[in-house]
Structure 1
């Protein structure tokens, strides 16, 4: 019985040594062939040709420091300067929301120029707060639940809600302000 255990250990040790040696050989052979193929005397063809382009010295394009309005234009696309409710480039009404999950009850806390503050009575785990936010806003806006969709910010407090119903941005803003005041 002792000899069987010993032979198992020897086999296992030998196997580990062989695996280590094969990894060592594979690594060095791949380095050898990469160096050899990247030399100027050899031309690469086929799928390896694309790899050669990344091995040379390439300069990254410089940032354009003069055009600082690009980031500002993107930020102004979603909410318009008139408030948190706007139409996006596709004509869909969007609402910028600052969610406050884990509150005691659902409520619209404030309507500011940047976003609509909404307290949500659901924990921010497993999308429960997002589902409750969509349900609550559909109730406030008097729309079907399928007409109010979370567009962006599923894992953030700053969210963009799409309203695909037949309401104008002014009507949406009025209903949100009524709920906030009353």
Structure 2
């Protein structure tokens, strides 16, 4: 049985227990929050800090804040920008810029923004600025399937 408290939080009642789904504060009005809980489909309580199981197939994933992440295997120093391959682990991206002074990273962001049809400011290099394995964050509202489909079509046409 679900009930709603005056502040919008829900509670779930069991014959033995009644638990609040949301922040739980200490008694006395100190404002300190003990922990935040949510209920899974099987109605077991799980801490929010625990990772939710999600489809991690392929190089495109969701971040914890809801933005889309793309795992990239960069290949700097190519003749032209291209997406030669989309595999289960990463999207291979050939970059027509040398890997010096951040030129390849800047070109990678420019090229991915062009492929996805976004502004450069909507594509951010999140991790791996000095490595070939990189993570790019997409700030526009895309689904995983849309991003995967666009990158796959860029790989087959390029």
Same fold per superposition (TM over 0.5):
yes
Matched, 1:103 2:78: yes
Q: Is the 8 A contact 1:149 1:163 kept in 2?
A: yes
The alpha-carbon deviation at position 81 of structure 1 amounts to 2.7
CA change 1:90–1:118 in 2 (3 A) is same
Is residue 72–residue 134 contact of structure 2 (8 Å, CA) maintained in 1? Answer: yes
Matches within 5 A, 1:68-79: none
Q: Which runs of 5+ in 1 are unaligned?
A: 1-75
Q: Which aligned runs of 4 or more in structure 1 are off by greater than 4 angstroms?
A: none
TM-score (norm 2): 0.64
In structure 2, what is the equivalent of residue 147 of structure 1? 122
Quick check: which has more Rg, 1 or 2? 1
Give the superposition deviation at 1:167. Answer: 1.2
Matches within 5 A, 1:31-70: none
- Does residue 156 of structure 2 align to residue 170 of structure 1? no
CA RMSD of aligned residues (A): 1.7
Higher fraction of helix? 1
- TM score, norm. by length of structure 1: 0.56
Give the aligned length: 106
CA displacement at 1:166 relative to structure 2: 1.5
Partner of 1:180: 155
Consecutive unaligned residues of structure 2, counting only runs of 5 or more, are 1-50
Q: Deviations over 1:79-115 (max 9, x none)?
A: 9532100101111100000000000000001000000
